Structure 1
Amino acid sequence: MRVYTVQPGDTLWEISRKFGVSVGLIKKANCIGDVIQVGWVLYIPRAFQRYIVQWGDTLWGISQRFGTTVALLKRANCLSQDMIHAGQILRIPLA
């Protein structure tokens, strides 16, 4: 996953064109609405894979399995805590 710092005059549409991903993917990866601010650091995913949480899974274990980080998993799924539960569907950001 790439990162991009929002510059003066940037729009989500322009950023999406620059990186070749949809505005929707950028918004989902960063848990944001339509408004961005200069200086924000945005994660730019190439795509998402879905994963159904199994009993005993942890964010750390899932992050290791998919080669990402707990922080990116939490951000991609708008999680404020490390708590997940069996049956939950997570978006896995692909690098």
Structure 2
Amino acid sequence: MITVGMNYHTLPGKQQEFEEKFAAVIGALEAADGHTSSTLWKDTADDASYLITSEWSDEQAFRDFISSDAFRAVTSWGKEQILSGRPQHKVYKH
């Protein structure tokens, strides 16, 4: 099992839109092979900074998901409209 931390920072005023779009991401995650659970966290010191933690059966399952059409379909909105920069992912192996 692995945990993946996905760090996102939104453009000013886009926090609520990011949180609403996360619902679509959760739907895609729940349908992905190897996905166990995910949680959205919000930074109390910077309300435009978010962390999504996801539990996966293995790293390959996560990599397959982020290269899938399903992932691209639910995240393409964020590149220029919501996010202030490129998301940063970190894999934690158990």
User: TM-score under structure 1 normalisation?
Assistant: 0.27
Higher relative contact order (CA 8 A, sep 6+): 2
Q: Compare CA radii of gyration and give the structure with the larger one.
A: 1
Structure holding more helix per residue: 2
User: TM-score under structure 2 normalisation?
Assistant: 0.27
Structure holding more strand per residue: 2
